[in-house]
Structure 1
Amino acid sequence: MLDRPVESRPPSEKRPQLRTPAPVASPIEPEGMTVTALLAALRRRRWVLILCALLFPIAAFVAAKQLTPRYTASATVMFEPTDYAARELQSILRDETTTDAVLASQIEVIRSLSVARRVVRQFNLTNNEEFFWWVGESKRAESPVYRLRDALARRLGAISPSLSELVAPEPVAPRPPEERAEIAAAEALRDKMKVEVVRNSRVLNLGFTSENPRLAADIANLTAELYISDQLETKFNAVRRANEWLDSRVAQLRQELGQTENRIAELRTTSGLTRGVSAGLSTEQVSRINTDLVEARNQLAAAEARLAAARSGGGTDMTAIGASGLVQQRAALSTARSELERLSATLGSNHPDVRAARSRVQDLERGVGAESGRVVQALDAEARAARARVGSLETALKSTEARVNQSQTAEIQVAALEREAEASRTLLRAVLERSQQTVAQTAIEKPDARILSPATIPAMPSFPKTMLMVAAAGILGVLFGLLIIWFLEQADSTLRSGEEIRAGLGLPCLALVPMLRRGLLGRHRVEDYVVRKPLSPFAESMRTLRAALWLGSEPPRVVVITAARPGEGKTTTAVALARSAAMNGERVLLIDCDVRQPSLGRVFRCEGAPGVTDLLLGQAVLERIIRRDHLSSLDYIPAGAAEIHSLGLFMSEAMAGLLDRVRRDYDLIVLDAPPALAMADARVVARLADATLLCVRWRDTPRSVVRNSLGLLEEAHARVVGAALTQVDAKVHGRSGYADAEVYHPRYGGYFRE
């Protein structure tokens, strides 16, 4: 049935007054990411988390299967240093306390380059690609790709050398010298070897990793054996060097002892020493000669005294010196002189008695003189004899003393040599004893370490650990999924619930308009669904929207429904709201104010019919442009003819008069306005209306766009009473965790009929 015009009521001559815009509440700051909000975000984007939690382990499993497996074989060695009894060996192989430094040194010994090179030679690892890089180079030269590129480069060489160089493969590096190859393989082997000390013990764990499990076990065991054999060989070498040194020392000591004994014999022979006799005889001779010398010196002194007395004259007792005759002669001479003096004094000097007496005195004096000369000569001879004897004794004493001193010096030298010889004998005996001990030590020598458990062929690869990698990848996937969800939440600037409408825009969310999918619509159109399914959630959302408008402090009669941009569902919301209100018994008028892209003509199938633009231009009357909906009691006015100057029409007196005229005839007038962000028509129409409803597409329109359009409406003094979230996916929103998602819970299923 075609829509038909409706008779209009008489117009009023009074112009409507512009309403004061209601203040828009400031946006509410969000409280932050609470646990509930976090769980809600996880619930909304659970597929991102599930996808990451599945993809990461699958990728890790595939990557692990692509990796070459490696096997680790382990052998354990106990480090037990032995003690040495011989002091000489302790100076060579000193037993130190087992400290961390000692164990670390043993680890470096095991991982030494010399041990690694012997292992390389034992297993010929220079021809193993795992240990020597050149093997891979040689295989690359034998690959078909290399041969093909090489042949192609040779053919292109005659045409274009530059193109030939571009196609030519990288030349194969020449094989290094054998020694460098061995060292390179040994370094690679050391990198694959790991030696650790078992905590709080002296046990060394020797592990080796290789792509070949048997080779890993063989290398681990051979390395442990080489370490122990090297220890034993080191000890044998040390003992051998000690024996050689001790033998050379014994020979040296024996030679020195022989030389000392020969010097003692020679010294005794040259000095004429006889043990225990020579020293005593020499001392006795010196004592006897000293006695004789003293006596001779006394005799010499007495003789010289007598000689002196004899030479001095009569004052000395000549009898004491053995000259009694001279004494008598001197006594007679004294008597004769006395007689001469008496006679001279009595008789005079010329008396014959006096001359006779004088002659007798002279005779006596000549006799005394002769006798005195004889005595002096005798005494002088005696003194010379005494002096000669003293000189002889002194010469004998000096000679004897010289011999005694020489003998004593020889004795001292002999004693020193004998002590030296005795020390050499003692040292020789000690060295001989140590030499015997070292010879015995060679027979009982043992290494400082022993193998506790040899390495066995590993049954499972140590790398890659597939399950561990999968588990770690799963954890990483979950963390990455959480990170992606966080980024998506931060990057998602759309509005997803009434809470975000209130928090982000400061507007109440008047209704959540669910999305109607094709399967649910069937043969019905979206605009007709509120009539066809009056008990559906969609129809209930329209009733909720109408109730929110009616329950305000000033229930509006003229409501503008607009959006920030096209495609927000504003026309569908306007038609559904108007039909729902009409079905509730209200007198409702729907006016299409989007004259550039009119939609009511398509919805109500009246394209090309005169409408609001014709009325405002004065080309039609109101009674001819008002039409009745064929599904409800709704009246509507289409947009009419397209007019590029629609803004001027809406700002005209005719538009204000139209609204004032229809305000008296209808309970609710719904104006379907164009998008407010790009079109100025919406702001003008919103300024004329009692209230403005902003439609926001759920999870599609950015907040910045909505805020911008809301700011434009506020600048136009529009009374924005709230917003409606349109095209809400009921299932998705029902699982989002927001408070307003409760309306989609299955517990309310009994209230609705689809």
Structure 2
Amino acid sequence: MAAYTHVDGALGSEASTREVALRDLLQVLRRRRSTIIASVLCCTALATTGALLYEPRFTSQAVLIIDPRTTEVTDINAVISNLPREAAAIRTEIDMITSSATAAKVVDRLGLVHDPEFNGAIERPSAIDRAIAGINDTVGYDLSPLQQQITGYLNSVGIGVKEPTTAEKERAAVIADVRRGLSATSDAQSYTIVVSFKAKEADKAARIANAFVDEYLLDQLQTKQEVTQQANKWLEDRINELRAQVEVSDKAVQDYRAQQGLVLGSAGGETFLSQQLAELNRALVVAQTERGRAEARAQNARIVARSPTEGNAAEILGSPLIQRLGEEESGIARRLAEYRTRYGDQHPAVQAYVNQLTNLRQKMREEATKIMAVINNEVEIARARERELEAALKKLTAETAGELGANVRLAQLQREADANRRVYEGLLQRLVETREQDDLQQRDARVVSKAEPPLEPSTPGKKLFVGGGLAVGLLIGMFLAFLRDHLNKTFRNTQHVEETIGVPAIGLVPSLPHHKNAKPEDYVLDRPRSEYSEAVRAIGVSLYARGALNTGSVVMVTSAVPGEGKTTVCLTLARMLAASGRRVLLLECDLRCPRIGNVLGDNAPGDLSDLIVGKAEWQDVVQVDGRSGLHYVVGRPHCDHPQELLGSEKLASIIKFASLEYDCVILDTPPMAVVADAGVLTRSATECLFVVRWEQTPRAVVQRAIDRLTELGRDVTSVVLSRVDLKKLARTDASEEAYGMNEARRYYTR
């Protein structure tokens, strides 16, 4: 149960804290409402004036797209590549749209130099003229005479006179003004660019926005065409140079060949010597082949000559006779073999066949010998042919040796000529391609939607101006209210006094209306049921309740600085207490700036100083107020050292004696923060009443004075706020004093 109670208490404390904070905020706004009202009125007036002076603006937008698609009519590489689809490239295109060059083209194209909206040198209605025209439209009253008077006065003092300018400066100023009305934006998620322009007329805004888009697209196409044309021009110049170089290099090859006698053969790629050398090499190879074949036949022929019956002699020797003899030899040899098998070697038929076979082989050897001689002759002829070709080749090789050095230089010249020709042919081909591209150039961007005249202005209207001024004025007023309240270091009510310096505040003394010309010390007697009298009476009741008005009490009344109403509080409190039947003595201890004698009258032969130094007795200094019965002793400014008198034992004994004779002794002392006179009286007082002027005396000054009294051994027992504006307090404060103050006034008399 205790835990729940603790939680409920914490929640209640938090809610109470929020409620107090909210109440404090509302108090500040209520207290400083004059500041808020003044701020709202000023800002609203400024906003209204601005609305009358300001001309509405219309914004028109055109949308471009950096087209990511490309049209390929040919497979020829372009001179200038297509625009890359990157954020940096789109940012660059935006800079081109908003550049001074594009703006200058638009200005010249639309003749904006002659438009008063952009050219300040052209006569146009001034801000005063526009404001008066706006007032005329609003209130329906003709202020033309006032307008003429104001314009005449400004011209007379030289305010409305325009300085002369040049055409170049005018154009530059117009371009700058046009650029201020232009904007081009693009998000990072698409290829679109939004071109916007703001002008005083809807049609003009759309026309200028479209002009910027057209100039940008035209410039894009012209740039490509100019680059292509420049490339063509460069290619043509370069081709002409290369053509001359090719001619020079070809002529150098021909001249060098003629100079060295390097005449080409029928093949066109080699000289005659080279061709002859190649033919001799081929002929030598053929001769060597034939010589080898002849030697092989001779070798076979020698074998056959030794034994015509072995091998294929007929085929080797190629003789028809040997072939026929070989066939006969085969037939005889077969029959010989049959007869030997049948009859034996001694048979006459066998012997006849043997003789025939011997004769036949002899003939074959004789024929082979003849053929052998022919084959040997062919071998010698082949060898002779080979030797002749070798000699001719050797001689021709010697002749071509001198041609090798010339061929090296000729090859070098030929390579240079071929290289020049290849470069020439490549550039010639590129020239043909770029000429074909000149008519196929395309823009990288296209228009998605053209700018149209807007139906409504893009800038705030007059009502929004005034509303904005009202809101801004309210915010500024609240800020100034809180700032002034924060910077205000004075006291607002008795609760504020107690929270700040920790001293009980027993009441507040209102200020009297100035129109009544009433004196406070008389007002408490003349109007005993007035607000002022009741406030002073409440202070007396509080002092009585605290025991400060018992017999023998000495009440010291002081303040921090002059002008806080300390003497007035002393006089009004003392007269009211005396009028109620109490025996009260008022001692004026302010010997520097005394005032009581001027108010109540001063007919005594002596004053407080005379009483202290012994120049006068009690009956010589004590005076009686005829209206209230108050006894008082005045002070006169004729003492050079008032602090010594006030701190003397004589004054202490006088005060002690007076406290025994009167119900209450009130000491009117000097301000604590100005002189040290009041400090020496602290030991004689039983109570210290501190007077603070409402919303006037800084808290730090009051605190310093109270601390000084504490150091001297006298604590401030109570505080009174003086010269309080009760109406303002009731209107701006939510404290206990202010609550119901307006309703409570019916209990008072005026």
Same fold, TM-score > 0.5, yes or no: yes
Give the Cα separation in 2 of the matches to 1:664 and 1:146.
Answer: 81
Give the Cα separation in 2 of the matches to 1:650 and 1:719.
Answer: 19
Give the Cα separation in 2 of the matches to 1:606 and 1:112.
Answer: 91
Bigger mean CA offset, 298-307 vs 705-714: 298-307
Other-structure match for 2:735: 739
Residue 609 of structure 1 contacts residue 640 of structure 1 at CA under 8 Å; is this kept in 2? no
Give the Cα separation in 2 of the matches to 1:83 and 1:241.
Answer: 23
Other-structure match for 1:119: 106
Other-structure match for 2:530: 536
- 5+ unaligned residues in a row in structure 1: which ranges? 1-32, 137-142, 151-168, 248-265, 272-284, 309-375, 400-426
Residue 303 of structure 1 contacts residue 383 of structure 1 at CA under 8 Å; is this kept in 2? no
Other-structure match for 1:222: 211
Residue 565 of structure 1 contacts residue 676 of structure 1 at CA under 8 Å; is this kept in 2? yes
User: Measured at CA, do residues 707 and 607 of structure 1 come closer, stay the same or move farther in structure 2, by a change above 3 Å?
Assistant: farther
User: Measured at CA, do residues 221 and 267 of structure 1 come closer, stay the same or move farther in structure 2, by a change above 3 Å?
Assistant: farther
Displacement of 1:97 after TM fit? 6.9
Report Cα offsets for 1:598-642 as digits up to 9, x if no partner.
43334334555655455445565535655554444x431241666
Superposition pairs of residues 561-572 of structure 1, within 5 angstroms? 561-572=557-568
- Partner residue of 1:514 out of 501, 510, 513: 510
Displacement of 1:297 after TM fit? 1.9
Other-structure match for 1:58: 45
Give the Cα separation in 1 of the matches to 2:227 and 2:612.
Answer: 121
TM-score by length of 1: 0.60
Other-structure match for 2:27: 40
Displacement of 1:715 after TM fit? 4.8
Other-structure match for 1:311: none
Bigger mean CA offset, 615-624 vs 117-126: 615-624
Other-structure match for 1:388: 381
- Partner residue of 2:696 out of 697, 700, 703: 700
Other-structure match for 1:409: none
Other-structure match for 1:298: 296
Report Cα offsets for 1:368-409 as digits up to 9, x if no partner.
xxxxxxxx999999845541145448989999xxxxxxxxxx
Other-structure match for 1:108: 95
Give the Cα separation in 2 of the matches to 1:81 and 1:548.
Answer: 91
Report Cα offsets for 1:6-38 as digits up to 9, x if no partner.
xxxxxxxxxxxxxxxxxxxxxxxxxxx955444
**Which AA in structure 2 matches 1:662?**
A
- Partner residue of 2:634 out of 639, 660, 665: 639
SS in 2 for 1:88: coil
Residue 601 of structure 1 contacts residue 608 of structure 1 at CA under 8 Å; is this kept in 2? no
- 5+ unaligned residues in a row in structure 2: which ranges? 1-19, 124-150, 237-263, 270-282, 307-368, 393-424
**Which AA in structure 1 matches 2:38?**
L
User: Measured at CA, do residues 618 and 383 of structure 1 come closer, stay the same or move farther in structure 2, by a change above 3 Å?
Assistant: closer
Residue 561 of structure 1 contacts residue 570 of structure 1 at CA under 8 Å; is this kept in 2? yes
Give the Cα separation in 1 of the matches to 2:716 and 2:723.
Answer: 21
Displacement of 1:484 after TM fit? 3.8
Report Cα offsets for 1:274-310 as digits up to 9, x if no partner.
xxxxxxxxxxx999989865542235557899999xx
Asked whether 1:194 is paired with 2:183, we answer yes
User: Measured at CA, do residues 186 and 732 of structure 1 come closer, stay the same or move farther in structure 2, by a change above 3 Å?
Assistant: closer
Displacement of 1:194 after TM fit? 1.3
Residue 735 of structure 1 contacts residue 741 of structure 1 at CA under 8 Å; is this kept in 2? no
- Partner residue of 1:600 out of 596, 599, 603: 596
Report Cα offsets for 1:160-191 as digits up to 9, x if no partner.
xxxxxxxxx99966655xxx987776565445
Residue 506 of structure 2 contacts residue 718 of structure 2 at CA under 8 Å; is this kept in 1? yes
Displacement of 1:728 after TM fit? 0.8
Give the Cα separation in 2 of the matches to 1:729 and 1:61.
Answer: 35
The higher radius of gyration belongs to 1
Residue 307 of structure 1 contacts residue 380 of structure 1 at CA under 8 Å; is this kept in 2? no
SS in 2 for 1:528: helix
SS in 1 for 2:737: helix
Percent identity, aligned pairs only, is 26
Residue 614 of structure 1 contacts residue 640 of structure 1 at CA under 8 Å; is this kept in 2? no
**Which AA in structure 2 matches 1:388?**
I
Report the aligned-residue RMSD: 5.7
Superposition pairs of residues 1-400 of structure 1, within 5 angstroms? 35-63=22-50, 65-66=52-53, 71-89=58-76, 91=78, 98-112=85-99, 114-126=101-113, 176=168, 186=175, 189-197=178-186, 200-210=189-199, 214-230=203-219, 293-301=291-299, 383-384=376-377, 386-392=379-385
Residue 119 of structure 1 contacts residue 222 of structure 1 at CA under 8 Å; is this kept in 2? yes
TM-score by length of 2: 0.61
**Which AA in structure 1 matches 2:30?**
R
Residue 697 of structure 1 contacts residue 726 of structure 1 at CA under 8 Å; is this kept in 2? yes
Displacement of 1:727 after TM fit? 0.6
Give the Cα separation in 2 of the matches to 1:523 and 1:115.
Answer: 78
Residue 616 of structure 1 contacts residue 654 of structure 1 at CA under 8 Å; is this kept in 2? yes
Report Cα offsets for 1:665-691 as digits up to 9, x if no partner.
332222233334445543344432222
Give the Cα separation in 2 of the matches to 1:101 and 1:689.
Answer: 87
Residue 60 of structure 2 contacts residue 209 of structure 2 at CA under 8 Å; is this kept in 1? yes
Give the Cα separation in 2 of the matches to 1:145 and 1:518.
Answer: 44
